[in-house]
Structure 1
C-alpha cells in the first residue's frame, strides 16, 4: 500500500537556555530560545506548556516539557512580566530519535515514534514528586520489523488509543493500556479516520465497514511525483472539516470532506525551490483566525496565507506575512542556513506561532496585523 505522511483520528459521534526578546514593526512579540538540540516536534500540553524532543540518530535524545513565558500565557494585555524565559518543567531521555510525538487528550501520557522501526513508545509525564518523564511501555511494530517509523495520532474515546502506521495497508488503532488492536485495515470498529498519502491521496475510512480506505484521485498526474502532507481544520456547526494539502513543490489544495474528489481551491505558494527535505513539510490552519494557514519546510521561513480571497484554482498566492527569524539565528555546521523543522499555532492567540529549526532555535512570535488601505 502507499505510504502516508499525516494521520488524523476522526471520531464520528534545558537548564542554561537563553531568551532574547526583540521588537519590530512587523511583530507584536518575538522571543528567540536556544535548545541544546534541534526538535522536529512541538506538541501542546494544555495552554501553558509544550513538549519538544531531539531527533538525532547517534545519541540519546531529550524529551522536554517547557513552560511558556508568562507573557504568552495571559489572556489580557499586561505590563512587565516577572518571567520572560521558558522554563524546563520536566524531562526524560529516549534511546531512539523522536520523529513524532503526541499527547493523549485528558491524560498524562505521551506517545512517540521514530526509526529504526514502526514501534511506539509510551511515556508518563512526571508526578508531583518528580520531574522525570518516564518510559512506561512499548507498542511493538508487529511481525515486520523492517517497517519504517510510524506516523501517529492519539484518540481518547472509551479508553486512550493511538492511530498509527507507515503505509495504508498497516494502518491500525491500538488501545494504549491493553495493547489490544481495536482496528486494522479491513476490520470493523466504530470510528472514522483520515490519512494523507505521500502521493497526495486522501484516505477516509469508516472503520465500521470491513473494506480498506479508498484513495482520492483528485491529485493531477503532473503533480504525482511530489510528496504531500496535510493539515485539517475541524468543522463547526454546518461547516464540514476542511483539509489543506501541501506538496513538496509548493502546491496547496483545499478540500471539503463532503466532496473529496473536487478541491474547493488550489494555489501555488511563493517558494523559490522545492522542499529540500520533504519530511519537514508542514501546513496548519489557524485555530482562531478564519481562513488563515501557515506553511513551512521549504527554507528557513514560515509563511502565513489568507485563503479567503483565493479563486477556485490558478492563483499564485502571496504570503500575508513571512517569519524569517530562523535565517538570522546563525548557520549550521556545514555553513547552510537552518531549515524550519516544525511550527504550531497558539491555541487562542490569533497571530502567535511557535516554530523550530534544524539549528536548535525555537521561536515564539506574534505577527502584527497588516494595515489595510481604506477605500
Structure 2
C-alpha cells in the first residue's frame, strides 16, 4: 500500500477505535490461544524445524479496569517461551492445567507442552500423543478443549477417526464411530457430554462423549441449501460457560470458501435460521478453508467475526438476517492488516487468526501472514469512540 494511504487510514481509524495496538512478531502465527484473560499463546508455522511458542502478557492498558489514561506498558511482554521442531498449525490450552497441545506437519501426532513460569520461564515438551492409524502422513488435525472436559483433548482428521484423549495418560476415553470419511474442518465441545463436528462439505454431526464408542450422527435436516454446494466449509459455535454451556443455546455458524454464512439452531435444525452472503473477494494467496475462521462474540449478542479471505476482519450483526440469502453488510471492518504489510511485499497479508477477548465485548486480537499482531477495541457506533487510541511499535 502507498505510504500516504496508510497514513490516511491511521488518521481515519482514530474515530473508529477505542483502542488499537499494533505489534510485530518475529514469525507469523496462525494460532491465538487464551491463557486466562490477560495472556495469549502464539506460535510460528513457517519454519520446518524451529518455531517459537510464546506466552504473551497483554499490554497493561488492556488489562486495566476502565479508562485509566496512559499506562507505562503499551506492548506485549513475553512471559514464557519455547521452541517446536515442527510448524505449529494448531494449539490448544488444556483448561485447569499448565499444559498445551499442538499439531502440525509432518504427521498427525500431537505434541504436549508444559508451561513453567518462574525463574525458568519456559514452555517445554512433555510427551507426544501418536497419530491414529491412517493419520501417520496427515497433519491437518483439528482439536478442541473445554473447561467441562479438563485434562482431555478432542482431536481428529476425518469424521470417522474423532477421539478424546486424556492428555497426560494418553488414554483414549472416547472414539466416534461413523461411516463418513469426509475431512474434518472444525471440532467443538458443546458441553460436558456432547461434541459437534463439521465436515469440509459443511455437514454437521453430533456425538455423546459419555459412551466410549459413541455413534457420530448427522444432524437431521441441517443440510445446506443446494445452491451452496461446491464449496468447502468451516464452523463456529456460540460459546458457553460451565454453568451455561453452548449446549444450552446451540447456535452454529457455517462459513464457506464462497463467502456464505449459514446460521443453524441445533434445537430446531429443520432449515437454517438465516443465510447471508458476505460479499468477499478472496485476495491473492487465498488458502481456501485452511485459514477461514468464523466466531461468535461471547459478550455481544448476535455478532460474528469472519476472517481468512484477505487482510480484513469483518464483524457482522446477524439480528436482521433471515432464511433467504441476502447480501450482508458488515457492522465493522478492521483493515489494519491491509496497510501493515512490509514495503515491496509480493502480495498483501492474509489474516491468519482472530479471537474475541473473553471479558471485553468489542475487543479482538488478530494476526496476519506478515507477522503483525493487532489488538483492537472497535467503537460502539451508538456511543462513538473515546479517541483513546494508542499505537505501539
- TM-score > 0.5 by shorter chain: yes
Distance across 2 between alignment mates of 1:219 and 1:158 = 30
Distance 1:156 1:321, change over 3 A: closer
Q: Which residue of 1 aligns with 2:333?
A: 322
Distance across 1 between alignment mates of 2:30 and 2:263 = 25
- 80-89 vs 310-319, which moves further: 310-319
Distance 1:44 1:203, change over 3 A: same
Distance 1:241 1:116, change over 3 A: same
2:249 to 240, 243, 250: 240
TM-score by length of 1: 0.88
Distance 1:207 1:104, change over 3 A: closer
**Is 2:88 the counterpart of 1:91?**
no
Distance 1:86 1:211, change over 3 A: closer
Written as runs of structure 1 = structure 2, the 5 A alignment for 1:40-51 is 40-51=30-41
**Is 2:62 the counterpart of 1:62?**
no
Q: Deviations over 1:229-267 (max 9, x none)?
A: 111113559952211111111100111111234211111
Written as runs of structure 1 = structure 2, the 5 A alignment for 1:348-359 is 348-359=359-370
**Is 2:303 the counterpart of 1:300?**
no
Q: Tell me if the contact between 2:174 and 2:214 (Cα under 8 Å) persists in the aligned partners.
A: no
Written as runs of structure 1 = structure 2, the 5 A alignment for 1:1-375 is 24-144=14-134, 145-156=136-147, 160-186=151-177, 191-208=193-210, 210=213, 212-216=215-219, 218-234=223-239, 236=244, 240-273=249-282, 276-277=286-287, 278-331=289-342, 335-371=346-382
Structure 1, gaps ≥5 residues long: 1-20
Q: Which residue of 1 aligns with 2:3?
A: none
> Displacement, 1:332?
7.6
**SS of residue in 1 equivalent to 2:267:** helix
Q: Which residue of 1 aligns with 2:6?
A: none
Distance across 1 between alignment mates of 2:370 and 2:225 = 36
> Displacement, 1:276?
1.9
Q: Deviations over 1:181-240 (max 9, x none)?
A: 1111239xx831111111101111123455531234511333232111111113559952
- 332-341 vs 55-64, which moves further: 332-341
| Cα RMSD (Å) | 2.3
Distance 1:164 1:242, change over 3 A: same
TM-score by length of 2: 0.84
Distance across 1 between alignment mates of 2:359 and 2:271 = 31
> Displacement, 1:97?
0.7
Q: Tell me if the contact between 2:108 and 2:138 (Cα under 8 Å) persists in the aligned partners.
A: yes
Distance across 2 between alignment mates of 1:369 and 1:62 = 36
**SS of residue in 2 equivalent to 1:119:** strand
Count of matched residue pairs = 351
Distance across 1 between alignment mates of 2:230 and 2:342 = 31
Distance 1:69 1:158, change over 3 A: closer
Q: Deviations over 1:32-61 (max 9, x none)?
A: 000010000000100111000001143310
Distance across 2 between alignment mates of 1:297 and 1:230 = 13
> Displacement, 1:157?
5.1
**SS of residue in 2 equivalent to 1:229:** strand
- 23-32 vs 144-153, which moves further: 144-153
Distance across 1 between alignment mates of 2:361 and 2:193 = 31
Distance 1:328 1:158, change over 3 A: closer
**SS of residue in 2 equivalent to 1:350:** coil
Q: Tell me if the contact between 1:65 and 1:90 (Cα under 8 Å) persists in the aligned partners.
A: yes
Distance across 1 between alignment mates of 2:152 and 2:248 = 27
